[in-house]
Amino acid sequence: MIDLTDKIAVVTGGAQGIGQAVAETLARRGANVVVADLQVEKAETVAQEITTSTGNRAIAVQVDVSDSESAKAMIDAAIAEFDRVDILVNNAGITRDNLIMRMSESEFDLVININLKGAFNCTKAVIRKMMKQRSGRVINMASISGVTGQAGQTNYSSSKAGLIGFTKALAKEVGSRGITVNAVAPGFIETALTVDLPKEIKETGIELTPLGRFGQPQDVANAVAFLSSDEAAFITGEVLTVDGGLVM
């Protein structure tokens, strides 16, 4: 069984969906968790539920990952509370889907700033601490859209493809300090980001997925827990697709 006892994890976008499932799963495996989200009231609810259900410590921190000072303040709060950060899960992300001929510059910039630059901001804020510890796990939430591309998502696919490149480059930079850097690339997962997809797109997604269903946030959280653990100590620079076989 994956054991994260006494590890300190920071999960961005941890107030709902995949991020909430990740925060709860890491806590069940023994970690103390910082639930970081722009929606701090939701984050506080998740943190309280984690403490009640697991007995582990959890705190909520408000963060705008697209702002470097806010990202730094999040890590500072984590270190003030727990004295270290062992696991960073860069999960915060948004979509602003549109065909490129209709996509505004602001729609493109917003997705890049949160999904890609946000991971840069949060990682930069914590990486020096991890290097001094000579240990750490950075897990970036990519997407199959960053692996294969998706029509109507030039902004989102770009951000997630960039995140995959970020993962591989950073893995080479910090591997000698005992830090692993990996990405998880979900396929169709039942979350707030997919609930409003047109029925025909959902049906096509299920049809193209060999396992014949959408995944659940827990499926992704299980992969994150593995990559956070000692069992994954010799895995770095990897992109683990959690997609029911969609892009194999």
Distances (CA, A) of 159 to 92, 116, 138, 193, 236: 12, 5, 17, 16, 20
Give the bridge partners for 148, in sequence order. Answer: none
Query: Which residue, 163, 181, 160, 185, is CA-closest to 241?
Result: 185
Q: Which amino acid is at 218?
A: Q
Does the annotation mark 156 as catalytic?
A: yes
Report the distance separating Cα 239 and Cα 64, nearest Å: 25
Cα 97 from chain centre: 20
Pairing of strands 58-62, 32-37: parallel
Query: Which residue, 195, 192, 224, 223, is CA-closest to 42?
Result: 192
> Looking at 82, 108, 120, 156, which residue is catalytic?
156
Give me the active site residues, please: 156
